[in-house]
Amino acid sequence: MRRLENKVAIVTGGARGIGEGIVRRFVAEGARVVIADVLDDAGRALAAELGDVAAYEHLDVTSRADWDRVIAAAEARFGRIDSLVNNAGIIVFKGLDDLSEAEMRRIIDVNLMGVMIGTQAVIPAIERAGGGSIINMSSADGISGANALTAYCASKFGVRGFTKAAALELGPRGIRVNSIHPGGIYTPLANPTGVPRADYDRNFRIYPAQRAGDPADIGAAAAYLASDDAAYCIGTELSVDGGLNAGHYYMGMPGAPVLD
């Protein structure tokens, strides 16, 4: 049996990349999905490809008015909302000295405030459905720091902490809140210059997995957390990072990868 049969989900940032991987897996598992994004053409095209089980809605995650409209549209179209995947996010690769105040605020607004606003907005709808799941997309960089990503790390550490606190508050109300922590996923967002996959994977030779991950890997993790199989997961941090945060290698010692 498909694990998400008869469930309805909203996936933010669902038009491409990790979000698209989540949307496709949810549909394959039997869910009906509202694809929410600012990439209107890509979002509409994906919804059209998937058919009646998917719908597209424009969503600026920093706008409560947008959230209220999308939630109402989801309930009108599919009758209920069982899950929200707060996946929308932005990333800026810059040294701390070069980040503008506007860039830092934008990263925090989208990556953290968007999650907080969306979680707050969807609570009544999920309660009307009898309970469900909220999945917040943090990052491997929400567990450990990374150079050139100071503001991004701050936002993703924030998502991690918010998830824990929300899980405590909403668990007794029948809403499970968990976070996913991807690391090194091959997407347009993480690879804005379009480096070929084989070359991109070389950047991840210091991971135990020896390669970058795929959006489908995150889709599988999200489908698990949205399903009844994860009924006892509340405040869980699910790392899907190829071993990035498992530890570090002493290069040249036994067990370390050989880099050429």
With 0-12 / 13-18 / 19 or more C-beta atoms within 10 angstroms meaning exposed / middle / buried, residue 251 is exposed
- Between CA 174 and CA 171 the distance in angstroms is 5
- Residue owning tokens 């939630």: 71
- Active site residue: 152, 186, 207, 224, which one? 152
Residue 249 is a catalytic residue: no
Residues sharing a CB contact under 8 Å with residue 79, sequence separation 6 or more, in sequence order: 8
Which residues are bridge partners to 10 per DSSP?
34, 84
The answer to whether residues 210 and 204 touch, using CB atoms and an 8 Å cutoff, is: yes
Distances (CA, A) of 222 to 5, 49, 78: 15, 21, 20
Burial class (CB in 10 A: 0-12, 13-18, 19+), 163: buried
Cite the active site residues: 152
